[in-house]
């Protein structure tokens, strides 16, 4: 068996189960898979006390003590009755065994270790051949405890999940732990509070962020940049309401697939049932269909920065990265099949420009259909083939760092998912451009072709930032709150040394405000040292201290957060800042 990292992590899950049973013999193991960065195991501790955070070190010590005796994994195939006898006191394992029997699957028991350090588990396999030799005892660490419902259902018993980290070596583990600590420092919820960007209120509800004036500037500036790029590429703004009759989503097909995620609204007057919109594409189709269209009219491009609403589970919400009110820089293109390639190229160029200005690299996942499971997808085979060939042509032409992910396409068309890479090397799916062969037909969208026949247009869904809330969460952590000048809510702070310098400091402040710079004046009674420290703590791109020298020379000394300092005239200061803003320098 190949002793790869996944096998090591799976093996360590078994080792964890043994170590827990030593100190908590009443524990009933349930499942323990390998996951990204490590492993976990879920236990039922209903028969006695459950471990606490302080117990993890001892459990980890038990694992290391047992590891040297685990020289081999042995397994045997058993009948369902034999398996049920082995796990007769474990209803969770029994449930799994019954399902395996129902599906006529082979049932295997894996045993590792010997004597006091022996452990047998119900498992499909995928382990190290010799755990003692293959696993570095310093390459893993237990990380946390959490609650988890059996098989993820709230209707089932709550279990205790123990998480562990595991890598090929201690060096890789230490690198990961350093990254985790850095991620904690960069947590957008922490920085959002420190910089006064957004808040949540129990009275408003979970997953419904409230943006402060400073946070709203961030949202607006990102939205304006996205819209300016789209306007240059021929997109026109539209506006739609936030509610709709449910019939709209029944026609689009979203009701059948996502109806459980909709917030419903009941009219007291007409008794009609409405929904808060979870997406915008069905609305935009109704603008297209409102008048006859010719092949000469295409492509038609609609854009809108608007908020949608989805009833996400409370346990899945997390700061800005998973919310119930999600604002999108959404857009839809209605075009002829022969225009697909050019439209995808235009959109991808916008994506490159936007993420270049934000200082973020990305990979492109070409999400194509799986020919082996053709029944999962709607639309003509030739149309799928043509569309996927055009998408890959664009990826090659623009020299994207891309890969093809078969089976990742939506049922209604292939797409390009943009996987943005943050400063810690984590990947986040943000922007997307997606073909849709289904909705135009469902809504009866047509255009008159040059030969006078009626044709159905192709629809392209596009978002540059994706969900702005989610992107902000990612970007705050990427920059650690050190936003570029063009995006920073506060671009420069003017700090007079003392009261006698306040008049000139106010003049500097007023002139910068007059030319559109987001400047502030700190002439508070705090000491000069504290006011300077505050400017640095607030991660400002620039601040300027005004003292005797500046008042006499009628200039300013510009200080950057990078530690650079330069003297310049007031007029030059304004030009310097405006140029940096206009060029979106990082």
What are φ and ψ of residue 392, in 5° steps? -70, -35
Give the chain's length: 586
Residue 68 is encoded by which pair of tokens? Answer: 């040297």
Say whether 188 is catalytic: no
**Nearest partner of 90 among 77, 104, 109, judged by Cα:** 109
Q: Is 58 a catalytic residue?
A: no
Catalytic-role residue among 9, 14, 186, 310: 310
Residue 95, preceding peptide bond in cis (omega within 30° of 0): no
Catalytic residue (one of 127, 415, 455, 470) = 415
The CA–CA distances, whole Å, from 10 to 82, 89, 167, 238, 323 equal: 24, 24, 12, 52, 33
- Active-site residue among 161, 461, 462, 531? 461
9, exposed or middle or buried, with CB in 10 Å at 0-12, 13-18, 19+? buried
Q: Is 530 one of the annotated active-site residues of the chain?
A: no
**Of the residues 14, 121, 277, 328, which is catalytic?**
328
- Cα 316 to its chain centre, rounded Å, is 12
What's the CA gap between 435 and 390, in Å, rounded? 11
Indicate which residue of 42, 44, 93, 281 is catalytic.
281
Of the residues 7, 10, 332, 493, only one is catalytic, namely 332
From the number of C-beta atoms within 10 Å of its C-beta (0-12, 13-18, 19+), residue 94 rates as middle
Please name which of 147, 302, 310, 309 lies closest in space to residue 237, comparing C-alpha atoms. 302
Concerning whether 330 is annotated as a catalytic residue, the answer is: yes
40 closest CA partner among 12, 4, 3: 12
* Residue 310 among the catalytic residues: yes
Question: Among residues 44, 329, 330, 522, which one is catalytic?
Answer: 330
DSSP classification of residue 312: -
- Rounded to whole angstroms, the Cα distance separating 467 from 487 reads 17
Catalytic residue at 332? yes
Residue holding tokens 């509610």? 243
Is 128 one of the annotated active-site residues of the chain? Answer: no
Which residue numbers are catalytic?
Answer: 281, 310, 328, 330, 332, 415, 461
């Amino acid at each position: 068996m190949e002793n790869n990292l996944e096998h090591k992590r799976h093996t360590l899950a078994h080792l964890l189960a043994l170590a827990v049973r030593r100190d908590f013999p009443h524990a009933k193991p349930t499942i323990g898979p390998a996951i990204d960065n490590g492993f976990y195991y879920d236990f039922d501790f209903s028969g006695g006390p459950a471990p606490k955070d302080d117990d993890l070190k001892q459990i980890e010590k038990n694992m290391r003590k047992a590891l040297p005796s685990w020289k081999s994994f042995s397994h045997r195939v058993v009948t369902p009755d034999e398996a049920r006898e082995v796990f007769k006191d474990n209803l969770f394992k029994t449930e799994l065994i019954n399902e395996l029997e129902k599906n006529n699957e082979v049932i295997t028991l894996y045993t590792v270790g010997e004597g006091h350090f022996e452990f047998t588990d119900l498992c499909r396999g995928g382990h190290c051949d010799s755990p003692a030799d293959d696993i570095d005892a310093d390459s893993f660490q237990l990380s946390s405890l959490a609650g988890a419902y059996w098989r993820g259902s709230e209707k089932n018993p709550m279990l205790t999940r123990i998480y562990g980290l595991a890598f090929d070596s201690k060096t890789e583990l230490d690198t990961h732990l350093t990254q985790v600590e850095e991620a904690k420092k960069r947590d957008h919820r922490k920085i959002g509070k420190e910089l006064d960007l957004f808040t949540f209120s129990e009275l408003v509800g979970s997953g419904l962020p409230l943006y402060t004036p400073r946070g709203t500037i961030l949202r607006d500036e990102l939205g304006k940049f996205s819209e300016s790029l789209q306007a240059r590429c021929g997109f026109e703004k539209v506006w739609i309401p936030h509610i709709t009759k449910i019939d709209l989503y029944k026609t689009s097909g979203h009701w059948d697939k996502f109806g459980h995620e909709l917030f419903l609204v009941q009219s007291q007057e007409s008794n009609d049932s409405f929904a808060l919109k979870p997406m915008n594409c069905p609305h935009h189709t109704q603008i297209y269909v409102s008048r006859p269209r010719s092949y000469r009219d295409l492509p038609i491009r609609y854009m809108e920065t608007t908020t949608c609403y989805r009833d996400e589970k409370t346990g899945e919400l997390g700061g800005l990265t998973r919310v119930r009110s999600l604002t999108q820089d959404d857009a839809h293109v209605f075009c002829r099949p022969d225009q697909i390639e050019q439209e995808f190229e235009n959109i991808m160029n916008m994506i490159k420009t936007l993420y270049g200005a934000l200082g973020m690299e990305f990979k492109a996942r070409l999400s194509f259909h799986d020919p082996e499971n053709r029944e999962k997808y709607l639309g003509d085979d030739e149309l799928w083939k043509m569309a996927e060939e055009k998408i890959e042509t664009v990826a090659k032409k623009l020299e994207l760092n891309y890969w093809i992910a078969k089976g990742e396409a939506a049922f209604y068309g292939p797409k390009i998912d943009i996987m943005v890479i943050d400063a810690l090397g984590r990947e986040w799916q943000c922007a997307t451009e997606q073909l849709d062969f289904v909705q135009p037909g469902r809504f009866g969208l047509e255009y008159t072709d040059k030969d006078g026949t009626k044709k159905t247009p192709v629809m392209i869904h596009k978002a540059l930032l994706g969900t702005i809330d989610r992107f902000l969460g990612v970007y705050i952590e990427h920059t650690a709150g050190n936003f570029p000048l063009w995006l920073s809510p506060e671009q420069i702070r003017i700090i007079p040394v003392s009261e006698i310098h306040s008049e000139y400091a106010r003049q500097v402040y007023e002139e910068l405000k007059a030319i559109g710079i987001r400047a502030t004046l700190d002439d508070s009674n705090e000491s000069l040292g504290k006011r300077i420290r505050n400017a640095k703590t607030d991660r400002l791109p620039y601040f300027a201290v005004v003292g005797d020298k500046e008042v006499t020379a009628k200039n300013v000394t510009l200080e950057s957060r990078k530690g650079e300092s330069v003297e310049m005239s007031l007029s030059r200061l304004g030009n310097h800042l405006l140029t940096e803003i206009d060029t979106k320098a990082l």
